[in-house]
Amino acid sequence: MLYINGEWITDGNKMDVINPATGKVIDSVTIGGREETKEAITHATEAFKTWKNIPGAKRGRYLATVVKLMREKREILAETITRENGKPFSDARGEVRSAIDYLEWYAEEAKRLYGDTLPASQVDKHLMVLREPIGVSAAITPWNFPLSMITRKIAPALAAGCTVVLKPASQTPLSAIKVFECFHEAGIPKGVVNLVIGPAEEIGKEMTSNPDVRKLTFTGSTAIGKKLMRDAADTVKKVSMELGGHAPFIVFEDADIDEAVTGVLLTKFKNSGQTCISTNRIYVAESIVEEFGKRLAQKTAELRIGNGMEDGVDVGPVINKGAMEKIAAQVEDAVKNNGKILQGGNIHKPEEGSGYFYEPTVIQYATEEMQIATEETFGPVAPIFPFSSEEEVIEKANHKQYGLAAYCYTKDMGCGLRMMKALEYGIVGINDPAPIVIQAPFGGVKESGIGKEGGKYGLEEYMEEKFVSIGMK
Ligand code: ADP
């Protein structure tokens, strides 16, 4: 289904949606291409002329209505996420809450878009800075958080006064359709939000080359992010990029081992390790590395793997066969390089159907030579690297390419503060495995991206300053 200028389009070519827990087709959706994207941009451009001038408070009320509708539909939204993405139902409920929280935050922020008055250098001048919405925003979202990545982009865009054309991931279009049903029901004016599902490259080409698009916001892989940035350069669009990560998780000798193990379980196995802030490398002080490995393996063995709709499941499938095979290849490479599997290490065959599962895995004695040390895993595999000094672990933890999230466990405040400064990452959790909140800036440094989402920082991405100098003679 496409949603353009307030109308649902159901005729046209179709694309299947697959449940990764069963490998079976669960739905089929109408897709569009370059023409439909162009049409959506034209309508968004027209709608921008009025939407930007509506008082922020009123835009906020529209968003608040969407919040109300999404709350009413929260169970069906969560079920949709689990069916197309695979994550356990309780995690899908968490994602729905987070998606709504972002909408609610920006519904409130819409009435707080202030400009500045500057002190003039001459008595006969008055200087002002207006903060204005940038214009039509094209948004491209991934499959790992099929709902919250959408509201995290659309909510600040609409609050700021921008209009939007969204392309969700082809693996997970159903959550996008559900949220657009809420936009429709909330009576958001025609053309303000538009949805185009379909071939990524074709839609992306129109979004990056169309001069009416003034902002491109993307969450996905670094490789595609770079390509989109290059393509968007021709029309000098403002871009925000939330790209790949390779998070280190550092456990110092004085840390509470059980708390650190719990932290790894959360940051490594949630979403089957398929988030850009998932732990990728666990650095543990040499003196406790054996004990840490033992306890992590024990806890990992207790995780229940299965279809996310079943009660008590902790780890669902990965998104598709390709993802499963990539994980298997990384584990094979780690074993070849003398890694020792403490837990898991195999593709998991479900009792029913043919879903794509990989066992939650712990690998001891990981080394820098392994692929897993530098390549993003996007799977439930936890490699443990021993370290002997703070200097050594800082050197190793800072990744050449990525800089999204890093975690550090220690009871020594001095050490914690030194790590806070030394870690070259956009997000640092010290004794905190969940450093993500709506009011904070989410985003990376280096090739993990540019721009932020969340809080007042997220709003800036959809606005630009206009300086006005008024002579008073
Ligand atoms: P992943 O490998 O995790 O799927 P991608 O970066 O390929 O990450 O996908 C993230 C989003 O980018 C999805 O919506 C996908 O359809 C979209 N995408 C992929 N390739 C392109 C492209 N060439 N142009 C525009 N969007 C793309």
User: pLDDT, tens digit, for every residue of 215-240?
Assistant: 999 999 999 999 999 999 999 999 99
- Assess whether 114 and 166 both reside in one domain: yes
At 354 the pLDDT is: 81
282 & 202 share domain:
no
Model confidence, pTM: 0.97
Is the residue at 439 inside a domain?
no
CA of 224 to the centre of ligand 1 (A): 6
Q: What is the pLDDT of residue 161?
A: 98
- Known catalytic membership, residue 276: yes
Q: Are residue 50 and residue 196 in the same domain, yes or no?
A: yes
Domain presence at residue 435: no
What is residue 1's predicted lDDT score, i.e. its pLDDT?
85
Tokens standing for residue 85: 């993405």
Q: How far apart are CA 164 and CA 135, in angstroms?
A: 9
Clarify whether residues 294 and 186 are in a common domain. no
User: Residue 142 C-alpha to ligand 1 middle, in angstroms?
Assistant: 7
DSSP string, 89-136: HHHHHHHHHHHHHHHHHHHHHTT----EEEPPSSTTEEEEEEEEE--E
CA 406 / ligand 1 centre spacing (Å): 24
Average pLDDT score over the chain: 97
Residues 12 and 136 in one domain: yes
> Please, which residues bridge with residue 408 across strands?
250, 430
Per-residue pLDDT band for 349 (boundaries 50, 70, 90) equals confident
Query: Which of the following is catalytic: 276, 359, 415, 453?
Result: 276
Shortest-distance Cα residue to atom 17 of ligand 1: 200
> 258 and 205, same structural domain?
no
Q: State the CATH number of the domain containing residue 162.
A: 3.40.605.10
What is the domain range of residue 96?
2-243+446-471
Q: Looking at the structure, tell me whether residues 191 and 309 fall in a common domain.
A: no
Residues 269, 230, single domain; the answer is no
173 touches ligand 1 (CB under 6 Å): no
451 and 338 both lie in a single domain: no
Residue 465 lies in a domain: yes
Separation of CA 189 and ligand 1 centre (Å):
28
pLDDT for the residue 352: 67
Active-site annotation holder among 181, 242, 376, 453: 242
User: What gap in Å lies between CA 15 and CA 13, rounded to an integer?
Assistant: 7
Pocket test for ligand 1, best of 153, 224, 241, 321 (most atoms within 8 A of CB): 224
Which residue has its alpha carbon closest to ligand 1 atom 27? 200
pLDDT at 176 exceeding the cut of 70: yes
Domain-located, residue 437: no
Model pLDDT for residues 43-96, shown as the tens digit of each residue: 999 999 999 999 999 999 999 999 999 999 999 999 999 999 999 999 999 999
CB 402, CB 445: distance < 8 Å? no
The domain that holds 299 is classified in CATH as 3.40.309.10
Beta-carbon contacts of 105 under 8 Å, excluding residues fewer than 6 positions away, are: 155, 438, 439, 455
Whether residue 93 lies inside any domain: the answer is: yes
Does residue 310 form part of some domain?
yes
Of 31, 84, 140, 228, best ligand 1 pocket probe by most atoms within 8 Å of the beta carbon: 140
Residues 391-412 have a mean pLDDT of 98
* One domain, residues 268 and 212: no
Percent of the chain with pLDDT over 90: 99
Rounded mean pLDDT of 1-25?
A: 96
**In a shared domain, residues 409 and 461:** no
Asked if 331 and 361 sit in the same domain, the reply is yes
Number of domains in the chain: 2
Residue 290 lies in a domain: yes
The closest residue, in CA terms, to atom 11 on ligand 1 is 142
Q: In the predicted model, what is the mean pLDDT of residues 179-203?
A: 98
Query: What φ, ψ does residue 405 adopt, rounded to 5°?
Result: -125, 150
